[in-house]
Each structure stands twice: as structure tokens, then as C-alpha cells.
Amino acid sequence: MKHDTKLGIGLAAFIAVGLAWSATRDEPPSPSPAERLAAAQAKTRARLTQLAPAERRSVDYAALDARFKRMVARPNMVGMAVGIVEQGRITFLSGYGETLAGSGQPVTPQTVFRWASVSKGVASTMVAKLAEQGKFSLNQPVASLAPSLQLPNGAQVTASVADVLSHRLGLYRNAFDNKLEEGQSASLLRRNLFSLSGLCAPGTCWSYQNIAFDAATEVVEKATGRVYADELKRQLFDPIGMTSASATRAGLQSAPSWARGHSVGRRPIEVNDVYYGVPAAGGVNSNIKDMSLWMLAQMGEMPFVLSPRLLETIHAGRVATPNERGRMRKFLERLADPQYGLGWRSYTYAGNRIIGHRGGVNGYRSLILFDPVRKSGVVALWNSNTSQPGGLEFEVMDMVYRLPFRDWMELDKGPAAVVVPAAGEAIEATSGERR
């Protein structure tokens, strides 16, 4: 009897140990530190991706929505998308008008547009990220990384990568853009820049460029061994969660909803490859939600993608751009101290430092403007050559700063200005100056 009891106790203990071992064996292993970090980052992305109307603070969204509807009803407008961020959260996403004039196809927050020269901030971010990874130095001579760039007087051996990204190469404004629009190769045109007369030594004066700026594409491809558009996707767009973003014409036209460009009189125009041939200068596409996510990342809300040090490097003003005062003259009541950093403009607006850029290619316009301290700002995309929506960013910022209303969009004035392209693309979004 005692022997049976001992046997029963021993058998029960054996079974219990076996069950415990089996349960332990079936349990998944604890996540590694890298897996926990990736999960936390995914959670941050998911939170930032969500529209957060509860975070609305200073902006009168009903009033703005009514004004945007009035704007898209203007004779030269076709479609527009707007995104607003307050306190580091997306608080407003809306589409207006049509993707194609007369089609009845509505613009939505998922409609993809071209970013035009707002793409320059993407290029500078990508280059600065590679420099942060130790691939090269921003102060390194550009000749060692982009051999196609040949400057007057052999200045490519002294011009730095940062000089390329801040438009300080000593070239006249928009050098050879007309030849690019005629169909000539950007790489070949960069090689022929040496034939021009230099305005100044690199780093000593400022003049806006597209072809020379696109040396950034070559820098990225040489440093990574990958196609520029693919590297953007791998290191920027995917980590940020920008699922609609691309840097090719095919990326635009393969989107389920994409906005067709329009010229004077709301006439549709064919999308060509001219400025996709200089993708660092003007090749990015996305919907307004992804552009809003990009702005959040630039505000420092995704430090696992863009470090605070990187953001300070690219946003810091490196050269004064006083000609901006003429181009932005209607905002001078509140706007001052225009500067250019690496692919980004900066200003003082009613005493607040703001960062942004505008862009225009034939048939499309774009803008981004934000306050990195208040983590508030606005992005907008539209598919026509009118410049008038260019004031909407300041109407939004006036609300953020609780400033008196100004009709910056000039909805209560005469017809909107229309910018007529001389040849192909790369037209200034505000005044007709090439960008």
C-alpha cells in the first residue's frame, strides 16, 4: 500500500515536471532588444498616422475648410489637397476639386501629386543621413562623390557637398534648366557647367539650381550602390510610413488616384520625365497624408529615422537670401530674415522661426511650412499653374500664433495669378521665377 502511494506520488511529480517543461518549450522566446525597439517604433508610426481631431487647439478648421472650398472654385484651380499638423499630430486632411478637370473624380487625402522643388528637402535629408552614417562628410569636396559635376574654373574640387545642397556653387540662377527642358541629359549638362562664367567662389554667394543640385542624386547612388529612388524608399519613405511616396513618373501614374497636371485655362498637360531626370531637385510624389507624415518627421517626431542633430544640420540657415523679400513681398508685414539651409528655407514670422519650401513644375504646385518648436504646420498640393493658394500656409500659421486675420490667399481680390511656363517645367510656385 505504501509502495503504491509512493509510486503514485512519484508518477504525479514526473507528469507535473513534464507538463511544466512542455509549457516552457511551447512559449515563444522573449523579444530581443532590437525587436522591442522595432515594435515601439511601429507603435509610434501607427499613432502619428492616425488623424487626431482631439488634438486641435488654435486653428479654426471650419473657417479654413470654407476658404479652401472657395479657393478651389477659382477659375484657374482644378484640385487641391491640404494637411495640417498641430502639436505633433495630424489634425486635418482634406481634398478639394478634381483630379482631372471635368472628370468628376474627386481629390481625396489619398490622391497623389508631384512635390516639385519640395523634393530638395528630401534629397538633403537623405544625403545628411548618409553623412551621419559615416559614408562621407558634408564638407567633403563634391568632386569625390559626384564626378559629373564640373564647375567653372575647376571649382568642384573646392565646392563641398553642403555647397551643392545650399545652392552656393557660384553659378547663375537655374543654370542650363532650359537645356534640360529641351530634353538634354542632366548628367551631360552637369559636365558642361564648367563652360559658364562663375559668379563667385563656391560658398560665397547663393543662386538657386536644379541641375547642379541634382548632383545629390549621384552622391547618394555612389555612397550606397543603389538607385536613388530605391534608397529613398529604403531609408526614408518606408521607415516613416509613407506608403504612397515615390520618386519616378511611374510611381505617380501607377497610384490608384493621381492628380493630372493642368496648364492655363484648366487644360490637362502630359506628365513628362524632364524633372524626374533630376529626382533630387524635383522628383518626389505622394499623397497629402504622407506629406504630412514627412512634416512630422522633420519636426522631430520620428527620431528613430531622423535624429535631432540631423534636423538641426539641414534646417540651420547657412546663407541669407534677401531676394526672397521681393518674391514674398505681400507677407513682409510679418515675414523677415529669409535664409537657406540644406534643401530648406527658413524665416522669422511674427518673431517665430519657421521652416519650409515651395515648388512648382508645369501643372503642379506644392508647399510645406512648419514651426519646429510648436510642432505645428501645413502642407498643400495642387494640380494647376496658378500661384494663388501660396498664401494659405500663412493663414494657417496666423491661427497657430493667434494673429489677426489677413486675406493672404487674396480670395477677396481679383483673379488669381497664372504662371505660364516658357518651355517645360520648373517654374516658381509664387512669382514665375524658375525653381
Tens-place pLDDT, residues 331-389: 999 999 999 999 999 999 999 999 999 999 999 999 999 999 999 999 999 999 999 89
pLDDT above 60 (res 51): yes
pLDDT above 80 (res 31): yes
pLDDT above 70 (res 267): yes
Amino acid found at 434: R
Domains of the chain, first to last: 44-400 (3.40.710.10)
Q: What is the pLDDT of residue 415?
A: 55
Least confident of 55-59, 220-224, 227-231, 235-239: 55-59
**Residues 85-101, mean pLDDT to the nearest whole number:** 98
Q: What is the pTM of this model?
A: 0.90
Cα 243 from Cα 222, distance rounded (Å): 25
Q: What is the pLDDT of residue 246?
A: 98
370 and 354 in contact (C-beta within 8 Å)? yes
| Tens-digit pLDDT profile for residues 106-121 | 999 999 999 999 999 9
Which grid coordinates belong to 106? 474627386
pLDDT band at 14, cuts 50/70/90? Answer: very low
Helix axes 119-132, 308-315, angle to 10 degrees: 130
Which grid coordinates belong to 17? 515536471
Buried b (16+ CB within 10 A) or exposed e, 305-331: bbeeebbebbbebbbebeebeebbeeb
Cα 202 from Cα 76, distance rounded (Å): 40
Cα 306 from Cα 235, distance rounded (Å): 10
196 and 175 in contact (C-beta within 8 Å)? yes
pLDDT above 70 (res 417): no
Cα 77 from Cα 384, distance rounded (Å): 6
pLDDT band at 19, cuts 50/70/90? Answer: very low
Q: How many CB atoms lie within 10 A of CB 269?
A: 18
Cα 64 from Cα 435, distance rounded (Å): 28
Cα 29 from Cα 19, distance rounded (Å): 18
Longest CA–CA separation in the chain, Å:
110
369 and 391 in contact (C-beta within 8 Å)? no
Buried b (16+ CB within 10 A) or exposed e, 96-109: bbbbbbeeebebbb
Question: How far from 355 is each of 239, 281, 369, CA to CA, in Å?
Answer: 22, 18, 6
Mean pLDDT of the chain: 91
